[in-house]
Structures are given as C-alpha cells and as structure tokens.
Amino acid sequence: MQTVGHLINGKIVATDQRHQDLVNPSTNEVTARVALASKATVEDAISAAAAAYPAWRDVPPIKRARIMFRLKDLLEQNADKICELLTREHGKVLNDAMGELQRGIENVEYTCGVPELLKGEHSRNVGPAIDSWSEFQPLGVCAGITPFNFPAMVPLWMWPMAIACGNTFVLKPSERDPSCALFIAQLGMEAGIPPGVLNVVNGDKEAVDTLLTDKRVQAVSFVGSTPIAEYVYTTGTASGKRVQSFGGAKNHALVLPDADLDNAASALMGAAYGSCGERCMAISVVVAVGDATADALVEKLKAQIAELKVGDGMDNNNDMGPMVTRALKEKVEGYIATGIEEGAELAVDGRGLTVAGFENGNYLGACLFDRVKQGMVIHSEEIFGPVLCVMRVETVQEGMDIIDAHEYGNGTCIFTRDGEAARYFSDNIKIGMVGINVPLPVPVAYQSFGGWKHSRFGDLHAYGPDSVRFYTVRKTMTQRWPASGVREGVQFSFPSHH
C-alpha cells in the first residue's frame, strides 16, 4: 500500500513507526496510509530548515520572486492532478476544489511582488547629517499547521509568503488529507526552492507540540478549531514564538424584509451547503427580520434543497459531496438530534441519505432548522456540517445583538436593498469580515483574512499585507558621518529636535 511520507531537506522520507489510514470519503475504502512523524522526524525537518536559512535569507528578493512566478505556472499546469488528490481525500466536489486552488494561486501571485512589499522606509536628515531607515528582515525558521477542509489553499496562505520574505518553513498539513499539500510542496522544489527551505511533516499532536516548543522555530501559523487554536497560541507564545492562530466560527446572515429573497436564498444555499458546510466562513445561521421574511425565505430554501444534487465529489454534476470522515458525519447527526430535542423545527432532514453506487460513503443531505433560539446548542456551537439554522427577530438591532453576543466573530453578512441599513450594519457589527449581499466575504489575496473574538488569537491576520509583517521583523538604522576634522563637544542630554 502506498505511504504518504514527509519532505525533508528535499527528499521524501517515511521511516516512522506510526501510520494512519487515508480513506476515500465517498466509499470509506482505505486508499493509502500516511506516516505520522515522531518528535525526532520533526526535529530533522527543523534542522534542515535551520541549516538552509543563512544562505536563503541572503538570496535577493527578486530571485525569490522568480521562483514564485514559476510556482504559479506549475500550480496552473498541474491543477487537475492537485484537485483530484484533494477530492479523493477530502470529498469536496471537483469544481469546489478548483475554486479553492485558484484562491491559493492568487496568494502565490501576491508573493510575486515581494521585492516591492519588502521595501523599507527612508528618511534623510532626521538630524544634522543624520539619516534613518527601516528594513523588514526575515525571522528564521517558521512553521504552519493547516486544517483538513482547505488542504491546498491554506498552506498556500502561509509558506509562499514566508519563504518569499527570506524565511525557511516546516509545514504540517492535516493528516486526514495530506497528499495535495505534499505534491504542491514538491512543485515548489521543481520551481527552484532549494532543499531545506521548505519541508513537510505529516503527523498528529506529537508533531504539533514539537513545532510549538522547539526553540529554533520563530513563528507559527495555525488554522483549525478554536480549542486547538487557543492551545497553539498559548503554547507557542509561552515558548517565545510569534503566533497567529485562527479558530472556529458561527457566521450569521441578517436578512431584511426588503432583500431580494430569491437571490438571497440562492446565495445562502452555496454559503451553507457548499463543501458540506465544512468551511470556517460557511453561513450556518440566518437571522430573518420579521416572520413574513422568515416564512418566505424558508420556503425558497426548502425548494432549492429539494433540487440539491449530492454524490461523489469526482462528478461535477453534483453540488455537494460526502463529509470528510464518518466520525464527523456522526457528530453532525448528533447535533441534529440535539436540535430536535431542544425544540427547534427541523424543516428539512438530510439524514439517511443513500447515494447509489456509494452506499458506504459519508453522505449527509442538507438540513434546515427553523425557529432556532439563542441558548440552543445548535446555535451556540460550530456544527461544521450541512446544517443551516433560521432564527426570527423583529428588528435589525435585535438581529445585530444576537450576532454580536456570539463568542465567535469570524464573518457575517447582510441581505438588503437599503444602503443606510447596510452601512449601519457594516460600521457597527462586531465581526471581523462583513459582506453586503455577499454571503462569503473572504478577502482577496492582496487584503488580509481574519475574524474577531474567539475566531482569532494573535494580532496579525492571514495572507495579504499582514502576512508580510507577520513573517518579517522591522529593523531601524540611524547613521551619521561627521565632517572630517570637526571636533564635537560631549552631549549629555537626550537627542531631540529642540
């Protein structure tokens, strides 16, 4: 059986004693196994990155950018293979995988401008014959820990910018679907990344803890659930590292009575059920203003759910594939049972779905709850499955209060034709990413991604301008060349412009 190994110092290695099966979510058949890195294996990767750093940091930024240009081309040339690897291990429909990869490629495009992004600041004559300037220098060895739901895109949020800025990198992708992240890293080597500059280790908590505590690792980026995000942040910062850690979400859509409900329903379908709801930016709660709005919206959603095509992700005729694991499917089904017990109205029940030819797959149809209340578990917790909850309120402010009260603050959106209401919402809602008639307000690559509250730990956001600051440290120089032959007196007072 094929074993997915690690990429360390330019070579694939898989000498570890522990392994985990890789399963096709459409069939639950074991397709391969992945090596789980020991502490020693992770330390080998860190050592390779540390050894490669001195030479790599001195490579001119324009040469590092040229590698990123070549990587972009290779990603586009190999897009079909990457997406097939992704879909076979994760389950999402190929079209969705292609969209994910394209977003990752856009982040690589942004890194191609790194010579401009790393330009410092210069001030002449800050004092008599004194000049001052700042530079953005790399940190050293950096690490990334990435989730199962975006196995191509999220690694491309991290290591391309990190190494373009002159750092070296150790990536630990999800052990559930590691193959495309490893293949993309190999494309990076083909593009010209030297051995040791980019390393990939597959593993579980043992690998994570090694990256978080090894003193040679200077910075860690993480995307995953909030409990693990908080653990990564507290453990990494306690070890003296710079950490950005992105956690869970419960994203609400506020729907006003004046909204275009047909378009809103269509947008919410994709935002709630795309990729089986396994997205940190998925819309999982609709807050409808007024019973008439809620009634009409629920009926439109029910009609579209009836037409939803669920099946194998390799078939682009399908809208939704299987969930990534049977365990996650069963967990989501547990939430559905809890919602019924709590008194929510299950308007559409997607449980018990069987797909012909894939009867053993992790399939769960779209589920829709109505009349969900604050305090219900299905509202307070992140379900991470194809479950959409509808809440009913009387006013816009009541809806905003519900959104603001939630512990997560990743994303939100409003559907309305009223510009004043939209502006008030976007100005005052306490959420990090806001959409106006846009259900998934994920920023483009040349901005930055990140929520508020328990959806993010750390000061800087992911990718975009913030990633340059995260993967570099500012150094400021001040210099003076006194005129020859001029003797200056001693000055004991603090320098100033007075």
- How does pLDDT run across 21-55, given as a tens digit for each residue? 999 999 999 999 999 999 999 999 999 999 999 99
Contacts of 197 (CB under 8 A, 6+ apart): 49, 52, 56, 163, 168, 169
CA–CA gap between residue 80 and residue 90 (Å, rounded):
15
β 411-415/456-457 pair status:
unpaired
pLDDT score, position 370: 98
Predicted confidence band of residue 496 (pLDDT cuts 50, 70, 90): confident
CA–CA gap between residue 308 and residue 365 (Å, rounded):
9
CA atoms within 13 A of residue 341's CA, in its CB half-sphere: 8
Residues forming a β-bridge with 473: 137
pLDDT score, position 489: 79
Mean predicted confidence (pLDDT) in 441-448: 95
pLDDT score, position 129: 86
pLDDT score, position 15: 86
Mean predicted confidence (pLDDT) in 416-441: 97
Predicted confidence band of residue 127 (pLDDT cuts 50, 70, 90): confident
CA–CA gap between residue 99 and residue 270 (Å, rounded):
13
Predicted confidence band of residue 128 (pLDDT cuts 50, 70, 90): confident
How many other CB atoms are found less than 10 A from the CB of residue 86?
Answer: 28
CA atoms within 13 A of residue 282's CA, in its CB half-sphere: 23
267: nearest Cα among 297, 311, 306: 297
CA–CA gap between residue 358 and residue 29 (Å, rounded):
11
The answer to whether residues 373 and 344 touch, using CB atoms and an 8 Å cutoff, is: yes
Residues forming a β-bridge with 142: 169, 219
Instruction: Examine the pLDDT at 497 and tell me if it is beyond 70.
Output: no
Instruction: Examine the pLDDT at 498 and tell me if it is beyond 70.
Output: no
Mean predicted confidence (pLDDT) in 438-450: 95
Degrees to nearest 5, angle at CA 93 with 92 and 98: 95
Mean predicted confidence (pLDDT) in 400-418: 98
- pLDDT over 70 percentage in the chain: 100
Instruction: Examine the pLDDT at 455 and tell me if it is beyond 90.
Output: yes
pLDDT score, position 247: 97
pLDDT score, position 180: 97
Amino acid letter at 317? N
The tens digit of pLDDT for each residue in 198-224 reads 999 999 999 999 999 999 999 999 999
The answer to whether residues 78 and 166 touch, using CB atoms and an 8 Å cutoff, is: no
116: nearest Cα among 156, 76, 64, 67: 64
- pLDDT over 90 percentage in the chain: 95
Give the pair of three-digit tokens for residue 289: 């203003």
3-class DSSP string for the chain: CCEECEEECCEEECCCCEEEEEEECCCCEEEEEEEECCHHHHHHHHHHHHHHHHHHHCCCHHHHHHHHHHHHHHHHHCHHHHHHHHHHHHCCCHHHHHHHHHHHHHHHHHHCCHHHHCCCEEEEEEECCEEEEEEEEECCEEEEECCCCCCCHHHHHHHHHHHHCCCEEEEECCCCCCHHHHHHHHHHHHHCCCCCCEEECCCCHHHHHHHHHCCCEEEEEEECCHHHHHHHHHHHHHCCCEEEEECCCCEEEEECCCCCHHHHHHHHHHHHHHHHHCCCCCEEEEEEECHHHHHHHHHHHHHHHHCCCECCCCCCCCCECCCCCHHHHHHHHHHHHHHHHHCCEEEECCCCCCCCCCCCCCCCCCEEEECCCCCCHHHHCCCCCCEEEEEEECCHHHHHHHHHHCCEECEEEEECCCHHHHHHHHHHCCCCEEEECCCCCCCCCCCCECCEECCEECCCCECHHHHHHHCEEEEEEEEECCCCCCCCCCCCCCCCCC
Mean predicted confidence (pLDDT) in 143-168: 98
pLDDT score, position 387: 98
The tens digit of pLDDT for each residue in 82-111 reads 999 999 999 999 999 999 999 999 999 999
Q: What is the set of domains in the chain, with CATH numbers?
A: 3-247+455-477 (3.40.605.10), 251-436 (3.40.309.10)
Mean pLDDT taken over the chain: 96
Mean predicted confidence (pLDDT) in 226-253: 97
CA–CA gap between residue 112 and residue 222 (Å, rounded):
23
103: nearest Cα among 144, 143, 75: 75
The answer to whether residues 461 and 247 touch, using CB atoms and an 8 Å cutoff, is: no
Q: Which residues are catalytic?
A: 280
pTM of the model: 0.95
pLDDT score, position 214: 98
CA–CA gap between residue 386 and residue 219 (Å, rounded):
34
The answer to whether residues 416 and 434 touch, using CB atoms and an 8 Å cutoff, is: no
β 242-246/456-457 pair status:
antiparallel
Instruction: Examine the pLDDT at 445 and tell me if it is beyond 90.
Output: yes
